[in-house]
């Protein structure tokens, strides 16, 4: 069979490609899912562009440049020696140094990090900034650990990671379980090991090279994406009832921006369940949650006790009626049935703050119902975009003002929105943002790879 796809053979070629990905990466379900979702958009687009096939561009993008797996040994407060596994997946550096977060969570596996690094490659391309795609982390569970234990773990993790990163090589940042505290410990250890003060991590404290609005950027950007989609329909967030999942960094700043734009957020969640507050989670209640999560490191169920509202143990918020939904917790947190329930209950728009939060059948349901659907690689790119701006500020040894950064973040999200429209608008006018994001993200990386030849 020829390697060259033709429009007639698109489906056959997609299936052959996907079978190869499954065969070479056995058991890596999340990675398969992420690659399939992208390939499904890319094959029809490249079916009449043989140069991409001849050079096996998508095949190369779905094989990480490099994966580093290492042992992390640390001592807990009782003097026990603990062993975790650390990873860094360097997926693709065609358009810039590898860039992407670190996740500390017990369900971290190679499959999870490979899916995240693959997605990051397209997301970073969409930002328009020169950043390749990477991701890393560990199966370490920060929950219930003391600050000293987290510090010792971070130091042990960096003792290996520092060999593989650098401001022009690979620049990690935060993700689930890695916030300001962890980035501080990681950066401190990098500096100690290398005797260099360079922008090797983003999401740093403002005192040591961090950028204003990096903390807020992902959540804000996810809401700007929704605002941009609504604007096409001459609509706004004002007055809309919104359902948000999660209660970490992305979720809380999404709530803050929705409130500022006049929307009402009625849910937040964590892995134990969700709270339903029909009066809305206003700025005061949100400040209470941020303190609960970042200082006391408590659970969202405590909100229900404090504000006398319902807590739905073991459930996810998608059963609550809403106009707009913002999944901001983790992958595959919206099942196919939950997606259908959202549509049935009148939800008109979904903007994904988390990475790949919707199962493929759910994504298909959103697209079939032709509701506004911003996939994660477009919707949550505001975080890594401001990380890119942090890298620029570090290289130039300057700090930009909050106003300048706010403008750049908004401009970046609008640019991403417009690229999705350019590549995703269908003949009937419906914008398939998923297709648009995948194709727009692909083209830039693919063209850079073509320019390098076969390497
Ligand atoms: P945080 O660690 O700050 O918060 C994570 C939130 O998600 C917590 O509420 C956590 O609840 C919940 N959660 C985690 N795992 C699960 C699970 N298995 N089931 C249900 N809930 C879960 O992380 P972030 O807010 O930074 O990240 C959230 C999502 O956003 C992730 O998908 C991340 O990849 C994505 N993202 C983050 C960016 C950033 O800048 N931070 C940038 C772009 C995307 P619990 O405490 O119970 O675990
Ligand atoms: O998924 C993501 O884009 C992030 N966790 C942020 C990555 C970054 O480098 O800021």
Distance 101 CA to ligand 2 centre (A): 4
| Fold topology of 66-198 | Rossmann fold (3.40.50)
Which of the residues are catalytic?
135
Q: Can you give the pLDDT at residue 9? A: 83
Q: Which atom of ligand 2 is nearest to the CA of 116?
A: 1
Give, using CA atoms, the residue closest to atom 40 of ligand 1: 383
The predicted-structure confidence for 320-344, as pLDDT tens digits, reads as follows: 999 999 999 999 999 999 999 999 9
Q: Can you give the pLDDT at residue 24? A: 98
Give, using CA atoms, the residue closest to atom 4 of ligand 2: 101
101 pocket-lining for ligand 2 (C-beta < 6 Å): yes
Q: Where would I find the beta strands (DSSP E) of 139-173?
A: 170-173
Whether this prediction's pTM lies above 0.95 is answered by: yes
Spatial contact of 226 and 243, defined as CB atoms under 8 Å apart: no
Q: Can you give the pLDDT at residue 377? A: 98
Three-state SS annotation for 252-298? HHHHHHHHHCCCEEEEEEECCEEEECCCCCCHHHHHHHHHHHHCCCC
Query: Measured between alpha carbons, how far is residue 259 from residues 38, 52, 175, 320 in Å?
Result: 33, 44, 24, 18
User: With a cut of 70, which residues of the chain have pLDDT below it?
Assistant: 1-5
Q: Can you give the pLDDT at residue 3? A: 56
Q: Nearest 5°: phi and psi at 104?
A: -110, 110
Give, using CA atoms, the residue closest to atom 22 of ligand 1: 271
Provide the pairing of β-strand 324-326 with 310-313: unpaired
Q: Can you give the pLDDT at residue 1? A: 43
380 pocket-lining for ligand 1 (C-beta < 6 Å): yes
102's tokens: 């670190």
Taking domain 216-374, whether its CATH number is 3.40.50.720 is answered by yes
The predicted-structure confidence for 432-446, as pLDDT tens digits, reads as follows: 999 999 999 999 999
Query: So where are the chain's domains?
Result: 1-61+435-455, 66-198, 216-374
Distance 413 CA to ligand 2 centre (A): 15
| Span 1-61+435-455 CATH architecture | Orthogonal Bundle (1.10)
Helix axes 110-126, 433-452, angle to 10 degrees: 90
Q: Can you give the pLDDT at residue 387? A: 98
Q: Can you give the pLDDT at residue 7? A: 72
330 pocket-lining for ligand 1 (C-beta < 6 Å): yes
Strand partners, 85: 71
Please tell me if the domain spanning 66-198 has the same topology as the one spanning 216-374.
yes
Which mutation among 117, 134, 330, 383 tests ligand 2's pocket best, with the greatest number of atoms within 8 A of CB?
383
């Amino acid at each position: 069979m020829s390697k060259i796809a033709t429009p007639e053979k698109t489906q056959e070629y997609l299936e052959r490609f996907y079978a190869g990905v499954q065969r070479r990466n056995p058991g890596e379900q999340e990675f398969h899912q992420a690659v399939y979702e992208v390939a499904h958009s890319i094959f029809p687009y490249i079916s009449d562009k043989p140069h991409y096939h001849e050079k096996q561009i998508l095949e190369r993008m779905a094989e990480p440049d490099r994966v580093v797996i290492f042992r992390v040994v640390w001592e807990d407060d009782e003097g026990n020696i603990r062993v975790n596994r650390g990873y860094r997946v360097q997926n693709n550096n065609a358009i810039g140094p590898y860039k992407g977060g670190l996740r500390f969570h017990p369900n971290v596996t190679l499959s999870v990090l490979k899916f995240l690094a693959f997605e990051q490659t397209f997301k970073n391309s969409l930002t328009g900034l020169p950043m390749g795609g990477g991701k890393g982390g560990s199966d370490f569970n920060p929950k219930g650990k003391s600050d000293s234990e987290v510090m010792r773990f971070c130091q042990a993790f960096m003792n290996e990671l520092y060999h593989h990163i650098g401001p022009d090589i690979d620049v990690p940042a935060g993700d689930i379980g890695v916030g300001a505290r962890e980035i501080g410990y990681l950066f401190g250890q990098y500096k100690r090991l290398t005797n260099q003060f360079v922008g090797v991590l983003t999401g740093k404290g403002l005192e040591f090279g961090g950028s204003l609005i990096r903390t807020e950027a992902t959540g804000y950007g996810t809401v700007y994406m929704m605002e941009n989609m609504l604007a096409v329909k001459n609509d706004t967030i004002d007055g809309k009832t919104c359902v948000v999942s999660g209660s970490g960094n992305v979720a809380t700043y999404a709530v803050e921006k929705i409130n500022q734009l006049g929307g009402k957020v009625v849910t937040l969640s964590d892995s134990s369940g969700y709270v339903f507050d029909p009066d809305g989670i206003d700025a005061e209640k949100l400040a209470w949650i941020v303190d609960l999560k970042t200082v006391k490191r408590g659970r969202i169920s405590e909100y229900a006790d404090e504000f006398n509202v319902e807590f739905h143990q073991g459930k996810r918020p998608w059963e609550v009626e809403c106009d707009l939904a913002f999944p901001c917790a983790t992958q595959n947190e919206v099942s196919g049935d939950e997606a259908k329930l959202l549509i049935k209950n009148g939800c008109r728009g979904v903007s994904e703050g988390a990475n790949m939060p919707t199962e493929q059948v759910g994504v298909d349901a959103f697209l079939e119902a032709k509701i506004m659907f911003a996939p994660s690689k477009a919707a949550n790119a505001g975080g890594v975009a401001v990380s890119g701006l942090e890298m620029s500020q570090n290289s130039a040894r300057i700090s930009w003002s909050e106003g300048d950064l706010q403008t750049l973040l908004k401009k970046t999200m609008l640019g991403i929105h417009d690229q999705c429209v350019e590549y995703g608008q269908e003949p009937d006018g419906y914008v398939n943002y998923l297709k648009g994001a995948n194709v727009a993200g692909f083209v830039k990386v693919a063209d850079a790879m073509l320019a390098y030849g076969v390497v």
